[in-house]
Amino acid sequence: MTSLTPIIVLTVFVAIFGVGIVVVSALLGPKRNWTKAKKIPYESGLPGQERKETKIPVKFYLTAILFIVFDIEVVFMYPWALTYTEFIDAGLGGYIFGAMAVFVGLFIFGLIWEIKSKALEWD
């Protein structure tokens, strides 16, 4: 339990500090009077017009998000590969290999789901 004490203390300190900053800013910060006129958008006196299409298709966002997710998964494999021999020497090689096998299994499952859901097909 002693090895977790610094982590617990730091977690409690960060939580108290975060809540304290929000409370102090709410108490000491400026108070705004949001009237109905201040809430509406101003466009040179003309009513606002909503456009239903965007300039960038959603496919680009989906591709970027999927790239980031799978890229981060691969980044997690790098430290494992570097320290795997140390775990083998410590007698934990099978356990660490099993944990990485589950991780890679989830990675492959996500990739298969992405292909089956046609997330990357550009019609």
pLDDT, tens only, 40-76: 766 666 666 666 666 777 788 888 888 898 888 888 8
Segments making up each domain of the chain, as ranges: 54-116
Query: How far apart, in Å, are the Cα atoms of 90 and each of 15, 83, 93, 96, 105?
Result: 36, 11, 8, 11, 25
Contact predicate 81/93, CB 8 Å:
no
Sign of the CA dihedral with 76 first, then 113, 111, and 105 last: positive
- pTM for the whole thing? 0.49
Contact predicate 103/76, CB 8 Å:
yes
Give 63's contacts (C-beta < 8 A, 6+ positions apart): 120
Structure tokens at 44: 């040179």
What confidence score (pLDDT) does residue 52 get? 67
